[in-house]
Amino acid sequence: MTDKQLDALIERHEAWQLEQYEREMEAEPLLTAKDRQFLIAGLIGEYQYLCHDDATDDDMTPAEHHALLVNYSDAELIGDSDIVESPYETAEEFYDTHSAYVPVEYQVQ
């Protein structure tokens, strides 16, 4: 493959990535703002519960975990919470299950 062919291939790939990104940005959100809050807080609570009895030095703090989760797409939050395959019928139910371990500053009001 020549350099020119390789450059053309790279350009097509970059254009494809841009198109994918634009499609994602234009797509209808999967979650309401409130459901996002419920899933983010619920995931923090679930993580704190799992770390509670078996803590290690490299566990994320709630603040670190929150900073990570707020940048997740709706699809990533749904995937991490496994809400589609879980017994939970709503994001609020997922949150309620884990809310006892959610630090006050991340609880949904």
Q: Cβ of 20: how many Cβ atoms within 10 Å? A: 10
List the domain range (segments joined by +) for residue 3. 1-28
Terminal CA-to-CA distance of the chain, rounded, Å? 59
Instruction: Give the residue from 62, 70, 71, 59 showing the smallest Cα distance to 103.
Output: 62
Q: Mention every residue, 6+ apart, whose C-beta is less than 8 A from residue 22.
A: none
Average pLDDT in the 18-34 region?
A: 74
pLDDT at 90 over 90: yes
Residue 19, pLDDT score: 77
Same-domain status, 23 and 39: no
Q: Specify whether 13 is located in the same domain as 41.
A: no
Do 98 and 61 share a structural domain?
Answer: yes
Residues 40 and 68 placed together within one structural domain of the fold: yes
22 and 52 share one domain: no
How many domains are there within the chain? 2
pTM of the model: 0.72
**Does 91 lie in the same domain as 57?**
yes
Q: Would you say 52 and 10 are in contact if contact means Cβ atoms under 8 Å apart?
A: no
Q: pLDDT per residue over 1-18, tens digit each?
A: 788 887 878 888 888 877
Q: Give the residue with greater pLDDT, 27 vs 9.
A: 9
